[in-house]
Structure 1
Amino acid sequence: MINASQIKEHAEIIGADGVHVGTVDRVEGNRIKLTKKDSGEGSHKGHHHFIPLDLVADIEGNRVRLSANGAVAFQMEQEKDGKMQH
């Protein structure tokens, strides 16, 4: 079980594949809120995105490693409850 208090503001989030997923803004409940700069383009631009804490595999200093590849993590976040989560 990951201790969410170990997740630091501005830590880099990487997928299991080593791909940059985002930067931690803060932990809110059972999710990591990403900074707006990692929001993407188009209709996503300027919106915060979230990663569920249950996807966190390890915390290595100022880096949070997910158990899923980067693209999968974003897809899971977008498909939650059948709509976009911001």
Structure 2
Amino acid sequence: MISAEQIREHMEVRAADGTHVGTVDHLDGTTRIKLTKMDSEDGKHHLIPIDWVDHVDAHVHLSKNARDVRMQWATIN
């Protein structure tokens, strides 16, 4: 299981297919990652569950492909 302490601000988030889907703004509690709105096509923050994280190295790698991530993430202003 991934530990939230492994995830740092400004880390790139990549989908399982290698596509860039965002940049970590900060952790939203202990269960979600808030992505920066500056790096978002719609200019909004998006939240993804830590459960989607497959592994962390220099980047946060997700277990879902980019299409699924974008269809299922939560959007906030």
Check whether TM > 0.5.
yes
Question: 2:69 maps to what in 1?
Answer: 73
The 5 A counterparts of 1:59-70 are: 59-60=56-57, 62-70=58-66
Question: What stretches of structure 2 of length at least 5 have no aligned partner?
Answer: none
Deviation at 1:37, TM superposition (A): 1.4
Q: Deviations over 1:34-53 (max 9, x none)?
A: 01112223xxx2x2111111
Instruction: State the TM-score, normalizing by the size of structure 1.
Output: 0.80
What secondary structure, in the 3-state scheme, does the structure 2 residue paired with 1:40 have? coil
Higher helix share: 1
4+ residue runs over 3 A deviation: none
Normalising by structure 2, what TM-score? 0.89
Greater C-alpha radius of gyration: 1
Q: How many residues align?
A: 75
Partner of 1:9: 9
User: CA offsets per residue over residues 23-43 of structure 1, 9 Å max, x none?
Assistant: 0011112110001112223xx
1:28-67 to 2 correspondences below 5 Å: 28-29=28-29, 30-41=31-42, 45=43, 47-60=44-57, 62-67=58-63
Q: Which amino acid aligns with 2:36?
A: T
Q: CA RMSD in A?
A: 1.1
The percentage of aligned residue pairs carrying the same residue is: 48
